[in-house]
């Protein structure tokens, strides 16, 4: 039986791509679900071109139109990340990717 392809945060698979150079490997995902699913690891920040380690970012502003901004230097990565996301989702669709599961959870700051 063919495994279903799932796009997943690279940090959840053990890749050290988080802003601080760490990972958030989830063994339930890799060891248990990995028996049934094929994973396509994705790290938006790294694929967009940001380094590891990097300055942390957060979503700010209008909840209907938030901006992705670094927390110390206030560099706005919104437009570049939107462009990356459009291209990435096209690529995953072409690979018959069933789901895209990204771990990143951000609090929106006004």
**Minimum mean pLDDT range among 44-48, 80-84, 98-102:** 98-102
From the list 89, 110, 86, the residue with the least C-alpha distance to 99 is 89
**Mean pLDDT, residues 90-101 taken together:** 63
- 5 confidence band (pLDDT: 50, 70, 90): confident
Residue 43: DSSP 8-state: -
Q: What is the pTM of this model?
A: 0.77
3-state helix, strand, coil in the chain (%, to 5): 30, 25, 45
From residue 63, give the alpha-carbon distance in Å to each of 32, 59, 101, 107. Answer: 36, 9, 21, 10
37-72 residue pLDDT tens: 988 888 999 999 999 999 999 999 999 999 999 999
């Amino acid at each position: 039986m063919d495994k279903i392809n799932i796009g997943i945060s690279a940090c959840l698979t053990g890749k050290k791509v988080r802003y601080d150079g760490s990972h958030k490997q989830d063994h339930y995902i890799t060891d248990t679900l990995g028996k049934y699913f094929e994973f396509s690891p994705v790290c938006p920040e790294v694929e967009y071109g940001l380094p590891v380690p990097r300055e942390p970012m957060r979503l700010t502003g209008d909840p209907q139109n938030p901006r992705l901004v670094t927390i110390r230097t206030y560099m706005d990565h919104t437009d570049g990340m939107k462009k990356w996301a459009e291209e990435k989702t096209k690529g995953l669709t072409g690979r018959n990717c069933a789901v895209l599961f990204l771990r990143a959870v951000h609090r929106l700051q006004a």
